A and B are shown apart, each in its own frame.
Chain A
Amino acid sequence: EDQVTQSPEALRLQEGESSSLNCSYTVSGLRGLFWYRQDPGKGPEFLFTLYSAGEEKEKERLKATLTKKESFLHITAPKPEDSATYLCAVQASDYKLSFGAGTTVTVRA
């Protein structure tokens, strides 16, 4: 069974304090690993797709990396507007999608 585990569950940061979120996964035939951002009461918003180990993608203060067993989302010099829940998901060879429970990030000014 495909499994996605995110850690930590919650992360409180001071503005400008860089940190990393972890997503470890087991999947049968990885088609891709996704990172999404979700604000309270809203649907998830796409950030990145990573396809193979060694791949990296960046967007503003966010950088996602992928190994064969885990992915990291690095937040560099975060701002209060980066406060959200960050979701990791994997798509298996049968096109089924599995999400982790998410990491809730709070950035204080």
Chain B
Amino acid sequence: EAQVTQNPRYLITVTGKKLTVTCSQNMNHEYMSWYRQDPGLGLRQIYYSMNVEVTDKGDVPEGYKVSRKEKRNFPLILESPSPNQTSLYFCASSTSGRAPEQFFGPGTRLTVL
């Protein structure tokens, strides 16, 4: 089954404790991206990657890091999480054609105390 998986689905942590949210897709997609979703603000893109070893900042990259060492994986790293990073996070992937459909993962709900 074609899918985007994220782990963990739920995470409660404390300020300053480094964490990684994993994202994996099995569709051989070139494009992958991370979003955060907050009430009233909608989905905001954090980082995106056009292919292996190619990453670019989205609209809200501060406080986040990403890497794309393999085509299928695109982890999101919070080196020193803060309470304002409490949010619902989505990973998505797509082919690299003209404005292709994005396939979204199930989401990771992160709470930073």
A residues sitting closer than 8 Å to B (CB atoms) are: 31-34, 36, 41-46, 49, 51, 87, 89, 91, 94-102
Tally of contact residues, B, Cβ under 8 A? 27
List chain A residues, Cβ under 8 A from B102. Answer: 34, 36, 44, 46, 97
Q: List 14 A-B contacts (CB under 8 A).
A: A31-B99, A34-B99, A43-B4, A43-B90, A44-B102, A49-B99, A49-B101, A89-B43, A95-B31, A96-B48, A97-B33, A97-B58, A100-B42, A102-B42
Cβ A44 vs Cβ B99 within 8 A: no
Cβ-closest 7 pairs across A and B: A32-B99, A43-B104, A101-B42, A99-B43, A46-B101, A31-B99, A91-B99
List chain B residues, Cβ under 8 A from A42. Answer: 106-107
Cβ A97 vs Cβ B48 within 8 A: yes
B56 at the A interface (CB under 8 A): yes
B67 at the A interface (CB under 8 A): no
B98 closest partner in A (C-beta): A31
List chain B residues, Cβ under 8 A from A49. Answer: 99-101
Cβ A96 vs Cβ B56 within 8 A: yes
B13 at the A interface (CB under 8 A): no
Q: Are A44 and B42 CB-contacts (below 8 A) given A96-B48, A96-B56? A: no
